[in-house]
Amino acid sequence: MIVKKEIDLKLTDADLEILSRWDTPTICNALELVAPHRRGYGYTVKAFSCIDPGAKPIVGYARTATIRASAPDLSGGNGMADRIPYYEYVAAGTGPTIIVIEDLDAHPAVGAFWGEVHTAVHKGLGALGVVTNGSYRDVADSGVGFPGTGRAVRPQPCFRASGRLWWIGNCAWHGGQTQ
């Protein structure tokens, strides 16, 4: 089941700057203090790696989408033209943004949707970074100045046609945690 939550929350630039001073483990420790009933669940349990482990923390509003990477898309779509609504979605709305992409394959991270091209495009659209349960590639050309995490580094791309986005603005996954 995919659950979409709209939150009407506008953080100030000062709020975002303060939040970006801490890394994720520090935020998790603080949340355990203010919400002790949440200890032991609601967090990432699968292995992830950083595109650039030395990158500073980023804070932003999620732009979510889902993909399938393991098999060609046989639905007769229009290829790259089908991504235009997604790119418009990424560029619109409250920023700064962080891209969150769920790989819906039975075994996520078979092929990389994310790499140097998507890094360049998303930087141009104002995104700060990416989080995916899929894989990424082109590490040397993607990581500098664009933080991200993924399940694995893979040299192969996803099938060109099936790397299409299935649902824009919906994402039920976050590191094994449903939202």
- Rounded distance between C-alpha atoms, residue 134 and residue 48, angstroms: 10
pLDDT, tens digit (0-9, with 9 covering 90-100), for 114-142: 888 888 999 999 999 999 988 888 888 77
Do both 24 and 81 map to the same domain? no
CB atoms within 10 A of CB 71: 13
pLDDT, tens digit (0-9, with 9 covering 90-100), for 71-95: 766 666 666 777 888 889 999 888 8
34 inside domain? yes
5 inside domain? no
User: What CATH number is given to the structural domain containing 130?
Assistant: 3.50.30.40
Do both 73 and 95 map to the same domain? yes
Do both 52 and 130 map to the same domain? yes
Do both 103 and 174 map to the same domain? yes
Q: Is the pLDDT of residue 149 over 80?
A: yes
Helices (H), 4-138: 13-19, 24-34, 84-91, 116-124
- Report residue 103 as tokens: 């790989």
